[in-house]
Structure formats: structure tokens, C-alpha cells
């Protein structure tokens, strides 16, 4: 396993087997509160991972024992002038869109607090695995703002518009069991197993065609919200992008030869 640090607060681990990368939120003294510097590092790490053709799946994890991420660094924000806040906005947005726009499947491993921007980082992933200590929520209206890392758009896509409205308007916290029941969490695991199980899922994902994975994610994301005929056109374009690939040829050959495929990734 190799490690690469992006700034002081973000660590990327590339696991030797399985083509899985782990993006670690590593600001434990602040429970991973996202400062300007940390936001810039998250965006930089996502750019690097997106460009790494050896990476087939990403797991977003935390180095803090009791928190995934508690959201924006409000202590830093408290010192901002209006001009400071305006300057920070594109930096903050780039962190959340960086995770959202990863071209490969992304799995969030959540334990403890995932609030505000922390919840939005998880929502930006394709799958959320959480342990029973997880507490999630978007409390922004309680401090005079709104979710600004994608929460107003991503949460209703998971839990429905009325449920999302209730959660955002009340600013209440959702514990793990309820989060699973309403679809905010996809997989609920025993305490302390979120990272292990998320990495196992990512390894299973990464065993599949890298060309197919990227195309499938593109079709899922671009097709969401379109009417069915338009969505099927998005799917057809994605299919055509893989149908004549080396991965498709290898996959069919491996199936017929009853062996594991060795994906060329092109």
C-alpha cells in the first residue's frame, strides 16, 4: 500500500490489490471540520484520483474515531468578512463537486457524526456504508445558511422531496437505524466495521471492467432525472463507448474460457 498526502489534512492510500484508493479525511483535532485548506486538498486529491487510470473505486473514510466529518469549519468562518466568504465559496464547492464528479464508483464509510458538509461529502458518493454509531444531518438553517455542498439537490434524490424538506427545514439529526430505513444510508453494519466493509465492497466493484465501471457511472449520473426516452439515449451512448473496447473483448473471452478476466482498461 502506498500513501500520498494532499496538504496537511487529506491522505490518499492506494491499496496494492484490487485497484482501490482510499481518500482519508485526516483532521482529527477538528473532527474533520472542512477548512479552506482542507477543501482545497480534497479537491486536489479527487483530481489526482480521477486521472489515475489504475484506480477503479474510491472509498471515502475518516481518521477520527467518533466522527466522519462535522461539516464546515465554523470557527474559521466566524473570522471571515463578506469578501472572505465570497472568495472561499469556489474553493469549498470544488471539494464537494470533486467527490461528486469522481469518474469511478465512490463508497462513503461513515461512523459517528456526518453533519452538514460531512453529510454532503457522503451524499456525493454513489454508495453510503455506515455503522451503528452514525449520526447524519443537514443543520445549516440552524446557523443561518442552507446546505451548500449539494445537500438540497442530493438528499431528495435519495430520500424523496418531502422527506428531504422535513430534514433540511427541521435541521434534525438522523441516527443510523432511521437513516437506513429512509434510504439515507445504503448498508448498515456493526459498530467499527464501516471502513472494512466499504473497502470490501470497493474491492468487489474494482474486480469488474474499469471501462464498464466508468461508463456505467456516467450513464447513471447523466440519465438521472431525464424522461425515459432521453435516459435510454444516455445509456445507449454509454454502451457504444464500451461495446468495442478491449475490456468488452476480454470479458467475453474470459467468460467463454471460464477464467477470470484480465482487464486491459481500454
**Residues 118, 80: Cα–Cα separation, whole Å:** 21
Q: What is the pLDDT along the chain (266 residues), one digit of tens a residue?
A: 899 999 999 999 998 767 999 999 999 999 999 999 999 999 999 999 999 999 999 999 999 999 999 999 999 999 999 999 999 999 999 999 999 999 999 999 999 999 999 999 999 999 999 999 999 999 999 999 999 999 999 999 999 999 999 999 999 999 999 999 999 999 999 999 999 999 999 999 999 999 999 999 999 999 999 999 999 999 999 999 999 999 999 999 999 999 999 999 98
Q: Decide if 219 contacts 242 (C-beta within 8 A).
A: no
Catalytic site positions: 72, 117, 120, 140
The residues pairing with 5 across neighbouring beta strands, listed in sequence order, are 11
C-alpha cell at 182: 429512509
CB 76 within 8 A of CB 35: yes
Q: Rounded to whole angstroms, how far apart are CA atoms 23 and 122? A: 12
Cell of 54: 489504475
**pTM to 2 decimals?**
0.95
Amino acid at each position: 500500500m502506498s500513501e500520498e498526502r494532499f496538504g496537511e489534512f487529506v491522505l490518499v492510500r492506494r491499496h496494492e490489490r484490487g485497484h482501490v484508493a482510499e481518500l482519508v479525511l485526516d483532521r482529527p483535532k477538528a473532527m474533520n471540520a472542512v477548512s479552506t485548506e482542507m477543501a482545497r486538498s480534497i479537491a486536489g486529491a479527487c483530481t489526482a484520483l480521477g486521472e489515475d487510470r489504475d484506480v477503479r473505486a474510491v472509498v471515502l473514510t475518516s481518521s477520527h474515531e467518533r466522527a466522519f466529518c462535522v461539516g464546515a469549519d465554523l470557527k474559521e468562518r466566524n473570522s471571515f468578512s463578506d469578501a472572505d466568504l465570497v472568495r472561499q465559496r469556489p474553493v469549498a464547492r470544488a471539494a464537494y463537486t470533486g467527490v461528486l464528479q469522481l469518474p469511478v464508483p465512490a463508497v462513503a464509510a461513515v461512523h459517528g457524526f456526518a453533519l452538514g458538509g460531512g453529510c454532503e461529502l457522503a451524499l456525493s458518493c454513489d454508495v453510503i456504508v455506515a455503522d451503528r454509531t452514525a449520526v447524519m444531518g443537514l443543520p445549516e438553517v440552524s446557523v443561518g445558511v442552507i446546505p451548500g455542498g449539494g445537500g438540497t439537490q442530493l438528499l431528495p434524490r435519495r430520500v424523496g422531496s418531502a422527506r428531504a424538506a422535513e430534514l433540511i427545514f427541521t435541521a434534525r439529526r438522523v441516527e443510523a437505524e432511521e437513516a437506513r430505513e429512509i434510504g439515507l444510508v445504503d448498508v448498515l453494519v456493526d459498530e467499527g466495521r464501516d471502513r472494512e466493509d466499504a473497502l470490501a465492497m470497493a474491492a468487489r466493484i474494482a474486480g469488474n471492467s474499469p471501462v464498464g465501471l466508468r461508463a456505467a457511472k456516467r450513464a447513471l449520473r447523466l440519465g438521472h432525472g431525464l424522461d425515459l426516452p432521453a435516459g435510454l439515449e444516455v445509456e445507449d451512448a454509454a454502451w457504444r463507448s464500451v461495446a468495442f473496447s478491449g475490456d468488452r473483448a476480454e470479458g467475453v473471452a474470459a467468460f467463454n474460457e471460464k477464467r477470470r478476466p484480465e482487464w486491459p482498461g481500454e
